[in-house]
Amino acid sequence: MKVLFFAAVIIFLAGCSEKPVSNADVPDAQTPEKKMETGPAPVEKAPSAEEESPDISDDLKKLRKVPGEEGAGDCTGFVDRDGDGFGTDEKTVKFDCSGPAPVGYSKESGDCNDGSRYIHPKVEEICNGFDDNCDGVSDPEDSKDCNRYYADSDEDGYGAGEPKCLCVSVRDYPTLEAGDCDDSNRKVYPGGKESCNGLDDNCNGEVDEGEDVKDCRAFYVDNDGDGYGYDSKSRCLCKATGMYKAEMIGDCNDSNPGTHPGAREFFDSIDNNCNGVVDENPGVPYHHKDQK
């Protein structure tokens, strides 16, 4: 009995779980009246290729242009083998001016050495023996690392006047040494040998200075200024200097200007004329030294 009871319960539950299917639950199931009202479902139109993307044919044409072809652009590219931004007209191409020059080419020309990137029209000239800026001149005046050269008219190795900054000497500016105070006399220059000639031979700002120079003569110490000095105190000079101002010697008393060779002798117990004899003329009375 129990077995029959449980079997009846299971059958009852299984029957209750089934859901009746209606026409609304079937997607394609429609009544004839509904089909007549709506008609066939409209077919959606696929978008055309023209509506999907813009026309880029012109842009593609520009990208496909090959340098050198007709219509490739209005600018000229110059072959630039050293990559310094300047090329030569050995080989050229045409390209669109709105963009950069093709690889291996430059917009600028004028390179005079396309094998060195340090030589082109915009580089600074340097003293190296090359035409660095392609202007047709090698090592011009005022190049980097130049030296000051001076004119040397008398060819004594020393120049005068305003210098020029050059890489090498030239005929009119041959020397690096300056300071010549007379560029018309080759015996006058800085460090020259001084001589008694009325010139500043060594260009030190002094004339006929120094001792024992060429053509010098003896000057003696003359303390009393009578024109006579001691022969034991002398220097070879061009002119009187300091206490060495007497060119004659023989003063026997350099503190008395009235006593010197050739002075008048007086009876005063003094050797006035420095001849080694005192009062050798007693007939002349003594008087003051300033008297004549």
Confidence label for 286 from pLDDT (cuts 50, 70 and 90): low
In angstroms, rounded to a whole number, what is the distance separating the alpha carbons of residues 165 and 147? Answer: 5
Residue 1: pLDDT over 50: no
> What pLDDT was estimated at residue 122?
96
Assign 231 a pLDDT band (cuts: 50, 70, 90).
confident
pLDDT bin (cut points 50, 70, 90) of residue 265 is confident
Could you give the C-alpha distances from 222 to 219, 242, 249, 292, in angstroms and in order?
9, 10, 9, 22
| Domain spans, the chain | 63-109, 216-292
Higher pLDDT, 21 or 263: 263
> What's phi and psi for 141, nearest 5 deg?
-60, 145
User: Which pTM value belongs to this model?
Assistant: 0.59
Per-residue pLDDT tens over the stretch 63-107: 555 544 555 568 999 999 999 999 999 999 999 998 999 999 999
Tell me the sheet residues that pair with 150: 175
